[in-house]
Structure 1
Amino acid sequence: MSEEPSSLEDIKKLLRDGQKIQAIKLLRQESGCGLKEAKDQVDAIQAKMVADGEELPKGKGCAGAAVIIVVGLGLLNWICR
């Protein structure tokens, strides 16, 4: 990996804070690599951290928003009957 050790620690801190996208952006900025390469490297760093016993926050994803939308549409359908 081409990032400086301090950047690696910054990336790890971002991952610990649940800010994976920011970690990818930082790696891209520091190394000049492409998006896929940066994501793959951050995924590898994250996997190593987990393998070393660190508990990292789960990704938030969009499942919660999807549930809210489905429930909302169901309620709207029920109200409009």
Structure 2
Amino acid sequence: MSQDPSNLDTIKQQIRQGNKLEAIKTLREESGIGLKEAKDQVDAIQAKMIADGETLPKAGGCAGVLILIAAGLGSLGAWMLT
């Protein structure tokens, strides 16, 4: 990361809370940089936090949502067949 954002503490706190998207949004609003650049910088901040020994929450991602949708559709299909 070439430059530390002035809201670095806020961004780190958002990462600690598992709100990586909010951290990216905060960085973009503050700096006016593009989405990819903000994501790359937040990833670099997160990597530094991990390298410094912080334990951060695992990313949930879309997999959990997709599993819930698949389970719901399966249940609906089973119900319709009965």
- Global fold match (TM > 0.5): yes
Amino acid at match of 2:63: A
Q: Map 1:2-81 onto structure 2 (within 5 A).
A: 2-4=4-6, 7-81=7-81
- Shift of residue 65, structure 1, vs aligned partner: 1.9
Structure 1 stretches of 4+ with a deviation exceeding 6 A read none
Unaligned segments of structure 2, at least 5 residues = none
Aligned residue identity for 1:63: A
State the TM-score, normalizing by the size of structure 1.
0.84
Compute the TM-score of the two structures, normalised by the length of structure 2.
0.83
CA RMSD of aligned residues (A): 1.4
Contact 1:2 1:31 in 2 (8 A): no
Offset of 1:73 from its aligned partner?
2.0
| Separation (CA, whole Å) in 2 of partners of 1:27 and 1:64 | 26
Identity %: 58
SS in 2 for 1:61: coil
- For 1:29 and 1:79, the matched residues in 2 are separated by 47
Q: Which moved more, 1:23-32 or 1:44-53?
A: 23-32
User: Which ranges of structure 1 fall in alignment gaps of 5 or more residues?
Assistant: none
Q: Distance in 2 between matches of 1:55 and 1:77?
A: 41
